[in-house]
C-alpha cells in the first residue's frame, strides 16, 4: 500500500509527480489529467511561448509567461481541485520571470532543475503556500541549496527530487563521463539526502525518486528503498492527454533500447534522447543558417559559437510532429511504451490494485 504525498501544504492522493517535459510535451492537458487522477501534474515552462497563440515569431520573452499562465489555467479547468505545479529550468534566461508567472497563475508546487535554484525563495516570497522543490543528483547539491536558502531566506525546501542521471530523460545533472559507469547509487543518494535534512535541520521532508520509474513494482521498490514518492515523465507521453503530437508519441512506440542515448545540449548539460537523427537536427540549423532565434538559455554554445543546434526549436519541432529534424527527449524506459492509453488507465494500473489488496490479504490469511 502506498501513502498520500504531502509537499508543503498540499497533499496528493498518490505519491506521484508527473515530471516536466518541455517544450509543451507536458503542458496544461497532461498536467491537468495527472492532477485530476490524484497525482501532482507539472507544466514544463521551457519554451512555452513556442506553438502558442501568444507568439508572433519575435516576442518570445513577452509571450512566454503569458503562454505559461494559459496552460496553468487549462490544467485547472481539467482539475479544479487538483495539485498543479510547474517545472522551471534554472538554465533558462527568464527563470526569475517564469517562477513569478507560475506563482501568479496559481501553481502550487515549483520543481526546479537544470541548475541549482539558489534564489528561488526570494522569487516566491510573496506566495508562501507555494511548495519549493529543487532537483538534485547528489547530497552535496542538496546541502548547498539548504544552507544558502536558510542563511539568505530563512527557508528550507518543501521536498527534494533526487534524479538518477543513469535513467532519467532530458537534461541531466551529471558529467557525461559519470553517467552509466556504475558509480551512481540513486537510493543511497535518496537516503543520504533524507538523513541530511533530519540530522542537520531536524526536518523530515519528502524525498522523491526520479528516473527509471515505469510500473508499480518500480514505485514499490522506490518506497522500500526510502523514497517518499516518485516522479515519472516518459510513462505519460503515450497518453491521449499528453500535449505532444501523434508523431512524437509514435517515436516512443517505435524506438528500441538501442535508439536511446546521450547527447550534449548546447546548454552545457548532457541529455537523454532518441539519438538516431541528431546529425539531421544539426544539419538543418547549419544548412538554413539559423542563428539564435530566441535567446532562451543563459548559456548556449549555439547562441555564441554555432555549436550543436538550437535545442528549444528542435524540441518544439518534435512536439509539433517533425521527428525527422526535431529532438525527442526520453528516459531509458521509453522503449517499453507499447500503446496509446490514458492517464487514468496508468493510475489505475499503478494504484487501483490497492483497493483489492487488503481483501486479498484477508482471504489469504483466512
* Secondary structure letter of residue 291 according to DSSP: -
Cα dist. 317→162, 245, 346 in Å? 29, 10, 27
pTM: 0.94
Q: Which residue has the cell 501523434?
A: 246
Read off the pLDDT of residues 309-352 as tens digits, 9 standing for 90 and up.
889 999 999 999 999 999 999 999 999 999 999 999 999 999 97
Give rounded-to-5 percent helix, strand, coil for the chain: 40, 15, 40
Cell triple for 303: 547562441
Strand pairing category for 229-232 and 170-171: unpaired
133, β-bridge pairs: 111
pLDDT confidence of 354, banded at 50, 70, 90? low
Predicted local distance difference test score (pLDDT) of residue 352: 77
Which domains occur in the chain, in start order? Answer: 5-245+336-360 (3.20.20.70), 248-329 (no CATH)
- Tens of pLDDT, residues 26-83: 999 999 999 999 999 999 999 999 999 999 999 999 999 999 999 999 999 999 999 9
For the record, the C-alpha cell of 169 comes out as: 530523460
* Dist CA 111 CA 161 (whole Å): 8
With the CA atoms of 65, 66, 72 and 76 taken in that order, what torsion angle do they form, in degrees rounded to the nearest 10? 150
pLDDT digit string (tens) for 101-134?
A: 999 999 999 999 999 999 999 999 999 999 999 9
* The pLDDT of residue 365: 46
Amino acid at each position: 500500500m502506498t501513502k498520500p504525498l504531502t509537499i508543503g501544504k498540499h497533499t496528493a492522493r498518490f505519491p506521484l509527480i508527473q515530471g516536466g517535459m518541455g517544450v509543451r510535451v507536458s503542458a496544461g492537458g497532461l498536467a491537468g489529467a495527472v492532477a485530476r487522477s490524484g497525482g501532482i501534474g507539472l507544466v514544463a515552462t521551457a519554451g512555452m511561448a513556442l506553438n502558442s497563440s501568444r507568439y508572433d515569431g519575435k516576442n518570445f520573452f513577452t509571450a512566454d509567461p503569458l503562454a505559461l499562465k494559459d496552460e496553468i489555467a487549462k490544467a485547472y479547468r481539467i482539475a479544479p481541485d487538483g495539485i498543479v505545479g510547474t517545472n522551471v529550468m534554472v538554465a533558462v534566461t527568464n527563470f526569475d520571470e517564469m517562477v513569478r508567472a507560475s506563482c501568479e497563475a496559481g501553481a502550487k508546487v515549483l520543481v526546479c532543475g537544470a541548475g541549482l535554484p539558489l534564489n528561488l525563495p526570494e522569487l516566491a516570497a510573496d506566495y508562501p503556500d507555494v511548495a519549493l522543490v529543487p532537483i538534485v543528483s547528489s547530497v552535496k547539491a542538496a546541502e548547498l541549496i539548504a544552507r544558502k536558502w536558510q542563511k539568505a531566506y530563512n527557508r528550507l525546501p518543501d521536498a527534494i527530487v533526487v534524479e538518477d542521471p543513469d535513467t532519467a530523460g532530458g537534461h541531466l545533472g551529471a558529467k557525461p563521463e559519470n553517467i552509466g559507469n556504475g558509480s551512481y547509487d540513486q537510493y543511497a543518494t535518496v537516503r543520504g539526502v533524507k538523513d541530511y535534512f533530519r540530522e542537520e535541520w531536524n526536518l523530515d521532508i519528502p524525498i522523491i525518486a526520479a528516473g527509471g520509474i515505469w510500473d508499480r513494482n518500480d514505485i514499490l521498490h522506490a518506497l522500500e528503498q526510502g523514497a517518499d514518492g516518485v516522479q515519472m515523465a516518459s510513462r505519460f507521453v503515450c497518453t491521449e492527454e499528453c500535449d505532444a503530437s501523434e508523431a512524437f508519441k509514435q517515436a516512443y512506440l517505435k524506438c528500441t533500447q538501442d535508439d536511446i542515448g546521450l547527447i550534449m545540449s548546447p546548454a552545457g548539460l548532457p541529455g537523454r534522447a532518441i539519438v538516431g537523427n541528431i546529425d539531421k537536427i544539426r544539419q538543418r540549423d547549419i544548412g538554413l543558417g539559423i542563428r539564435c532565434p530566441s535567446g532562451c538559455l543563459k548559456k548556449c554554445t549555439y547562441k555564441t559559437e554555432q555549436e550543436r543546434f538550437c535545442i528549444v526549436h528542435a524540441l518544439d519541432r518534435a512536439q509539433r510532429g517533425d521527428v525527422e529534424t526535431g529532438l525527442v527527449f526520453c528516459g531509458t524506459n521509453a522503449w517499453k511504451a507499447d500503446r496509446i492509453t490514458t492517464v487514468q488507465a496508468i493510475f489505475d494500473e499503478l494504484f487501483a490494485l490497492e483497493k483489492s489488496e487488503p481483501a486479498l490479504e484477508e482471504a489469504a490469511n483466512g
